[in-house]
């Protein structure tokens, strides 16, 4: 089945933010073939979910639609809605370290090293290619969401001490997921 056909068949009203260890989160996302009304509808639903969850970024894989797109709002303002379709980082420099969270790991925050400045190339909702350079929090969001598109999660970025510090919360997520699937 073609990627856009999968998007068109998705039940947008039933989409929700998935929690670790849902296997969709580990999937490497497939490029979007064309920016059409199904992609636009998916993006709108993702913005609803992201703002409801009080997040600043959300990848397709986090809602169970494994396509290469993510959304962001670094200022958490509905007027600051950004869409990145088929994104890739084309340049990165410097480093930064800061606390990072993830909607798929509720209430878990850990220090993560990222590039201080990144340039991304992606398509917008009109299918037009653009480049954007971001620093600080905006750069962190771009890198975090591209990690999701590649199946890489916050837990993969944690050091040993952070994994130990969060082991109880991670275990609770695993237990809740197992219980949900036993029903």
pLDDT of residue 6: 78
Regions of the chain with pLDDT less than 50: none
Active site residues: 145
Q: What is the DSSP string of 143-167?
A: HHHHHHHTT--HHHH--HHHHHHTH
pLDDT of residue 181: 65
Contacts of 86 (CB under 8 A, 6+ apart): 31, 32, 68, 69, 122, 123
Please state the separation of Cα 46 from the chain's center in Å. Answer: 10
pLDDT of residue 76: 87
pLDDT of residue 132: 97
Burial letters 53-83, b for 16+ CB under 10 A, else e: eebbbbbbbbbbbbbbbbbbbbeeeeeeebb
CATH number of the structural domain 3-182: 3.90.45.10
pLDDT of residue 1: 55
CA distance 113 to 96: 6
- pTM, rounded to two decimals: 0.93
pLDDT of residue 78: 83
Task: Centre a 10 Å sphere on the Cβ of residue 94 and count the other Cβ atoms it contains.
Answer: 11
Beta pairing partners, 85:
69, 123
Q: What is the pLDDT of residues 98-111, one digit of tens each?
A: 999 999 999 999 99
pLDDT of residue 91: 97
């Amino acid at each position: 089945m073609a990627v856009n056909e999968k998007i068109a068949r998705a039940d947008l009203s039933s989409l929700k933010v998935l929690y670790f260890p849902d296997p969709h989160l580990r999937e490497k996302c497939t490029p979007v073939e064309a920016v059409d009304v199904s992609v636009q509808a998916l993006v709108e639903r993702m913005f609803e979910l992201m703002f409801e969850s009080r997040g600043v970024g959300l990848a397709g894989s986090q809602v169970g639609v494994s396509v290469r797109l993510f959304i962001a709002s670094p200022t958490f303002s509905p007027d600051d809605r950004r869409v990145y379709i088929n994104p890739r980082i084309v340049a990165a420099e410097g480093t930064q370290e800061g606390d990072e969270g993830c909607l798929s790991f509720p209430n878990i925050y850990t220090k993560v090293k990222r590039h201080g400045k990144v340039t991304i190339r992606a398509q917008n909702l009109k299918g037009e290619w653009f480049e954007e350079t971001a620093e600080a929090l905006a750069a962190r969001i771009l890198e975090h969401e591209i990690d999701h598109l590649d199946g890489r999660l916050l837990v993969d970025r944690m050091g040993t001490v952070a994994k130990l510090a969060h082991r109880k919360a991670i275990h609770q997520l695993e237990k809740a997921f197992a219980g949900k699937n036993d029903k």
